Amino acid sequence: MARKDITMNAAGVHAFLSEGSKKLIVTTLGRDGYPHVTPLWYAMEGDEIAFRSFRKSQRIMNLQRNPKLTVLVEDGDEYANLRGVMIEGTARLVDDAGYCLDLYVRLAARYRFFPEGTPEMSEADLRAEFSRYAAKNVAVVVEPHKTITWDHTKLGGAY
């Protein structure tokens, strides 16, 4: 089958990023030109991906120097069910503690931050818990330039 047969449309991309795999692979460029690749948690900001990182992290220092990045969200354990979205884009850095705190709360709704068995926290409790970290963070919104997608489930088991 041709490549076009496994691509996702815009609605499929949004659904996959919102409801699919939860791990974002972020690639930035280090000072030496080598890729710096790390997994992160993310949330959707409309149709764009957003994540947070400590201000002094290598990825933030790289993005301050060069805002180009590539992110990847993928899932599937066998060829027949591989799906993914790779986005080449520019990082928009949001150095705002309030925005970072809001992002922490959205991430806590999507991911397990605390050990299993910990009682669910209210939004007010989450804000209190993460407010001490928010000022040390920078949020990154990925502004896409090129999106590449694949959904091998559309192949119906054929190659």
Domain 3-155 has CATH 3.30.500.10: no
Rounded CA separation 29/58 (Å):
10
- Would you kindly state where each structural domain of the chain is located, as residue ranges? 3-155
Q: What is the pLDDT of residues 27-39, one digit of tens each?
A: 999 999 999 999 9
Q: What is the pLDDT of residues 61-102, one digit of tens each?
A: 999 999 999 999 999 998 889 999 999 999 999 999 999 999
pLDDT at 4 over 80: no
Token duo for residue 99: 């925005």
Token duo for residue 122: 């209210």
Q: Positive or negative, the Cα torsion across 100, 103, 109, 113?
A: negative
Rounded CA separation 59/151 (Å):
29
